[in-house]
């Protein structure tokens, strides 16, 4: 790697919640909601916001234009297929941004080449013409060979070289169907950096889908091999099993900076807020055990864990809840909880009990917890009041 860009430790975060994320069936967002999400993304330090697919609908065009006008810091990007009409429409929408980007793509794998019925040479010349056209409009052009991970390596090298020569400034390598695995994801980026002339003059991006649950691992492996842009969405929203989750890659790079020495510009304390917002507006609730943003990501129920947490949070937490914008971890009380957590909770509720009263409450708490999934504050107050009156 000869280009300083490739050796730098800064990883660009490209968020596509409003484009690939919104393509999840049923996740459609209103114009106003998109503007709100874009403002939050901009505020949290996302480098590039893919705001939509301007030719897809009048609504998408309007949303991308409005986001382009509103953005303060982020580059605003729109998606376009490999034809002049799409690219012109995309430019019309993003040109209002302080820092616009056109993202144009075409499927390069054998299965995808068959759809427009182009042979390899015809497709190569389409790529040359469309990237050149985009670059004549905008000096920031991203090009993607869709289904790159199932494209023949020789052909992939050939078309990536054409796109670079035609003026693309970012080359995105999509794992469109979530098919790759970490070692292969890294090898693909390394292969392109080594074989494609001019590869050191552009940024390579990784765009992973989560069909086999490996999107985060694949993205990080690509970074280790030299990619410097990660494409991702809030909560991993996206088609089928979703895209790489922004919160996962960002927190992985922060928490394991000792072994992955790369940094992003994200203010991680804004993560919870935007996660909740995206869940609400998309109508896609976050699964309880989702990494980083799930309801249980900082919750500990078992007695051993709660006792450890009360003594030293690092015993069972690798990051602080405040790092992601939560005020504190939670120690929900259930049948696995122990005396230490019960005592701490009762103290919070204003009950400082003598040992024998605590013992009695603990026995009755366990009996209740066997019948109920979670024991809430009101349940505890009732238990204590009951033990006081029956004493
Ligand atoms: O998954 C994919 O291939 C895409 C492209 C449009 C970049 O989303
Ligand atoms: Zn995608």
Task: Quote the percentage of the chain above a pLDDT of 70.
Answer: 97
Who surrounds ion ligand 2 at CB < 5 A? 20
Q: pLDDT band at residue 8, thresholds of 50, 70 and 90? A: confident
In this structure, are residues 375 and 349 in contact, taking their beta carbons and an 8 Å threshold?
Answer: no
Q: pTM for the full model? A: 0.94
Whether 2 has a pLDDT exceeding 50, the answer reads no
pLDDT in tens, 37-83: 999 999 999 999 999 999 999 999 999 999 999 999 999 999 999 99
* Residue partners of 220: CB distance under 8 A and separation at least 6: 182, 249, 252, 253, 260
Question: How crowded is residue 298: how many other Cβ atoms within 10 Å of its Cβ?
Answer: 23
The vertex-162 CA angle with 12 and 179, nearest 5°, equals 55
What's the gap in Å between 226 CA and the centre of ligand 2? 20
Distance between start and end Cα atoms, the chain: 76
* Residue partners of 209: CB distance under 8 A and separation at least 6: 174, 175, 176, 177, 178, 215, 238, 239, 240, 241, 242, 243, 244
243 annotated binding-site participant: yes
Q: Which phi and psi (to 5°) does residue 77 adopt?
A: -120, 145
Pocket of ligand 1 (CB under 6 A): 20, 105, 144, 146, 172, 174, 176, 207, 209
Residue 390, pLDDT score: 60
CA distance 130 to 132: 5
Could you identify the atom of ligand 1 that is nearest to the CA of residue 19? 8
In this structure, are residues 112 and 147 in contact, taking their beta carbons and an 8 Å threshold?
Answer: yes
CA torsion sign for 97, 206, 252, 234 is positive
């Amino acid at each position: 790697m000869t280009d300083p860009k490739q050796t730098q430790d800064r990883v660009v975060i490209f968020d596509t919640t409003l484009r690939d994320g919104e393509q999840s069936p049923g996740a459609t967002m209103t114009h106003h909601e998109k503007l709100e999400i874009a403002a939050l993304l901009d505020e949290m330090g996302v480098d590039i916001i893919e705001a939509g697919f301007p030719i897809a609908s009048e609504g998408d065009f309007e949303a991308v234009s409005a986001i382009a006008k509103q953005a303060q810091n982020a580059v605003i990007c729109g998606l376009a297929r490999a034809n002049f009409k799409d690219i012109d429409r995309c430019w019309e929408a993003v040109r209002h941004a302080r820092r616009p980007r056109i993202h144009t793509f075409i499927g390069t794998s054998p299965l995808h080449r068959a759809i427009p019925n182009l042979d390899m040479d015809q497709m190569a010349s389409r790529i040359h013409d469309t990237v050149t056209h985009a670059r004549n409009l905008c000096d920031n052009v991203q090009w993607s060979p869709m289904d790159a991970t199932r494209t023949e390596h020789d052909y992939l090298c050939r078309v990536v070289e054409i796109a670079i020569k035609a003026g693309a400034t970012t080359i995105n390598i999509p794992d469109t169907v979530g098919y790759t695995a970490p070692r292969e994801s890294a090898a693909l980026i390394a292969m392109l950096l080594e074989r494609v002339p001019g590869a050191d003059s552009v940024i390579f991006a990784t765009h992973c889908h989560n069909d086999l649950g490996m999107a985060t691992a694949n993205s990080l492996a690509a970074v280790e091999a030299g990619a410097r842009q990660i494409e991702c969405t809030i909560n991993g929203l996206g088609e089928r099993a979703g895209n790489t989750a922004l919160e996962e890659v960002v927190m992985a790079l922060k928490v394991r900076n000792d072994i992955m020495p790369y940094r992003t510009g994200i203010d991680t304390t804004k993560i919870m807020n935007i996660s909740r917002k995206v869940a609400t507006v998309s109508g896609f609730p976050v699964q309880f055990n989702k990494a980083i943003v799930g309801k249980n990501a900082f919750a500990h129920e078992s007695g051993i864990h709660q006792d450890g947490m009360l003594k030293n949070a690092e015993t069972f937490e690798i990051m602080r809840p405040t790092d992601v914008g939560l005020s504190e971890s939670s120690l929900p009380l259930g049948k696995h909880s122990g005396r230490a957590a019960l005592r701490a909770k009762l103290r919070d509720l204003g009950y400082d009990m003598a040992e024998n009263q605590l013992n009695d409450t603990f026995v009755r708490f366990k009996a209740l917890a066997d019948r109920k999934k979670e024991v809430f504050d009101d349940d505890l107050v009732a238990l204590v009041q009951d033990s006081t009156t029956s004493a």
